[in-house]
Amino acid sequence: MAIDTRQTVFRALLLAMAVGALAGCATTSPIDRPKLAMGQTWNAPEVATENTVPPDSLWWQAFGSAELDRLIRQAFDQSPDLAAMAERVFQAEQQARIAGSSLLPSLNLSGGTGARVTDGEGTSRRSESTSATLNASYELDVWGNLAASREEAEASFRTTAFDYDTVRLTLASSVATSWFQLLALEEQLRVARENLGIAERTEQIVDARYRNGAASRAELLRQQTEVLNQRASLVPLQLQYRQTRSALAVLVGASPLGFNTDTTGKTLLAIMLPSADVGVPSDLLTRRPDLAREEARLQAADANVEQARTAFLPSVSLGLSAGASSADLLTLANPVETAGWTLSLAQTLFDGGRLDAQQAISESQRLELVENYRSAILTALQETDGALDRVQTSQHREELQQTVNERAARTLELTELRYREGSDELLTLLDAQRTLFQTRDQLVQLRLARLVATVDLYKALGGGWSYPAGNK
């Protein structure tokens, strides 16, 4: 390459470095979280902080169920919804790479060779040529527009990643809730069968008294009706059990046809009831992925506003080209070398107010996201405080219901003995039976409510999720 050609390229490179230094000064500033008075304590009457630990990423293992652990891991591996969300994360990552590539120069290499024959005035001329050209173009990010575009894409990628974390947490909590509901239905079926056994045993007592003339036909029919009612109560429970099992199968990404779970490990009443450290309300900002998502969306909106502002400023582009051509076919022997550079400036002079409107839209969208962020924080506070209150309330109710159940069982035992001796009427015995049946079923329902409330509390606390380092 000739000396003047090298000098031309060298001057262009110096110009690019000088303008690039100016571009490096254009940056977007980090956002501030919206100001919100959260309070220092929860409204729940008894916030337990002793003998508790913060939830970790495997929070469901605190319930001590190996089958629940297996089901949640299967859901993470096979859930189509989670897999689809993972693909969206990958797509957002590639979009961020595309946006980042705009900050780098583009290089294009072209080449060609050929021959042409020209006939005219009885003569024929043949010409051959071979050429190769290297072009480089670079849009100088003088005002930070391209950097803002990259920051918007990266914030959108983080938003999608936090969406994935939210879906993963929701999936785990849904599997846990469905699993506990399945165990509760199994326990209800067991209680219903035991209740049927009690009713059938009482029927035998009434039948014996009837055959001995100590009871009327009406009393026997009443007890037979109670037996039929207990048998009929099994049918909707069995249907609900099958439907809940099918719903659990879909959650873990399995076919509901032929799906079964191992329910022999622990019954509902044997499941451990862990206690999580809820911390202070402000901890939620770094514990919940959905709040991190809202913050990332706000960061993307800030970058979008920056792009709208820089759209009013001129764009600067630098182009470099170098090539060689030869009058021979398929060879660059004895080439003619060329080199050049261009610096272009483009400025919109009139657009009918389009850029003004775009900037106004971007700023309004940012304000909208600020309010959405505040709303998400308020919702997170309400969900956590509500879940904590339900955990405490269901615990107290279960403890009271356990006492009620013990008293009802003792009442039935004494009433049955008095009925055998003829001291009580059948209606008293029937009332004692129904009371026991109701209290036993209520005890199962309260244990389920307590477990579900604990799952909701783990979910409200982010399930052991924490804000990734470097993204705050």
Q: What DSSP assignment string belongs to 203-236?
A: HHHHHHHHHTTSS-HHHHHHHHHHHHHHHHHHHH
For 11, which DSSP code?
A: H
- Name the residue among 91, 131, 462, 192 with its Cα closest to residue 326: 131
The pLDDT assigned to 148 comes to 80
DSSP string for 99-120: HHHTTS-EEEEEEEEEEEEEEE
Q: Which pLDDT value is given to residue 202?
A: 85
**Which residue, 406, 432, 402, 405, is CA-closest to 417?**
432
Could you count the other beta carbons within 10 Å of the beta carbon of residue 201? Answer: 11
Provide the 10 A C-beta neighbour count for residue 161.
22
Nearest to 175 by CA among 71, 56, 262: 71
Q: What is the DSSP pairing of strand 315-326 with strand 106-120?
A: unpaired
CB 436 within 8 A of CB 415: no
> Residue 29: its pLDDT value, please?
45
Per the CB < 8 A criterion, the answer to whether 468 and 290 are in contact is no
Burial of 40 (0-12, 13-18, 19+ CB in 10 A): exposed
> For residues 424 and 414, what is the distance between their CA atoms, to the nearest angstrom?
10
| Alpha-carbon span 270 to 287, nearest angstrom | 30
pLDDT, residue 34, reads 66
Contact 273, 52 (CB under 8 A): no
What does each of the 472 residues of the chain score in pLDDT, given as a tens digit?
A: 444 544 544 454 444 444 444 444 444 444 555 677 777 778 876 654 444 566 788 999 999 889 999 999 999 999 999 999 999 999 988 888 888 777 778 888 888 888 887 776 667 777 778 888 888 887 777 777 778 888 888 888 999 999 999 999 999 999 999 999 999 999 999 888 988 888 898 889 889 888 888 888 898 898 899 899 989 999 999 999 999 999 999 999 999 998 888 777 678 888 888 887 788 888 888 889 999 898 888 888 888 787 777 777 787 777 778 878 877 777 777 788 888 888 777 777 777 888 788 888 888 888 888 888 888 999 999 999 999 999 989 989 989 999 999 999 898 888 888 878 777 787 888 888 888 888 988 999 999 999 999 999 999 999 888 877 655 5
Tell me how far apart the alpha carbons of residues 6 and 4 are, in angstroms, rounded to a whole number: 5
pTM of the model: 0.81
Q: Could you give the angle at the alpha carbon of 91 between the alpha carbons of 86 and 93, nearest 5°?
A: 95
- Yes or no: say if 240 and 178 are a contact pair by the CB < 8 Å rule: no
